Amino acid sequence: MTIARYHGQFIIKGICALFLLFALFLPFNFLMAQAQNDLECLPTDSAIECAQKTLDKGARNSGAVSENAQDSPPTTAAIIGEFVVIGLQIVGLVFFLLTVYGGIVWLTAGGNKERADKAIRTLRQATLGLLVIIFAYLVVNFVVFQLAGIANPPSQSQNP
């Protein structure tokens, strides 16, 4: 293996590692920034309490949860939504594990072409699977909201 090729692979692996770190910590930074900017958070609240208040406020504002959600039984849509969230969490976990596995195999390939190809194939397939799941979720979400819009058309107000 030539030195230039070795350095090229080292750079690619470093970029992948930085991307992975960025992808892991970006949502947490965004959530923390939102929690700090939320007006409901008190200076004595922890970051987790602020994040919970922010998520609760967003759920109330979106209509996913009513103001007195503890008093009312969950609706069918809420139960299905919980299953979707759990499913997406599992898919995210599988993607993360496959990415870590592919990265470890690639880092430990040691010049073995078959292992490096296997690792790259694993990373590509994991990314493709994640993209398919995200697009499927977006399509289903769009169709459900379109059907809800057809079922509940906006009211026509008549002004004299």
pLDDT of residue 67: 61
The boundaries of the domain holding residue 59 are 1-72
Q: Tell me: do 67 and 83 sit in the same domain.
A: no
Please check whether residue 160 lies inside any domain of the structure: no
39-43, 55-59, 105-109, range with the lowest pLDDT: 39-43
What number of CA atoms fall less than 13 Å from residue 121's CA on the CB side? 6
Which two tokens mark 9? 């692979």
Higher pLDDT, 89 or 27: 89
Kindly report the pTM of this predicted structure: 0.48
Looking at the structure of the chain, the number of domains it has is: 2
Mean pLDDT of 72-98: 81
DSSP 66: -
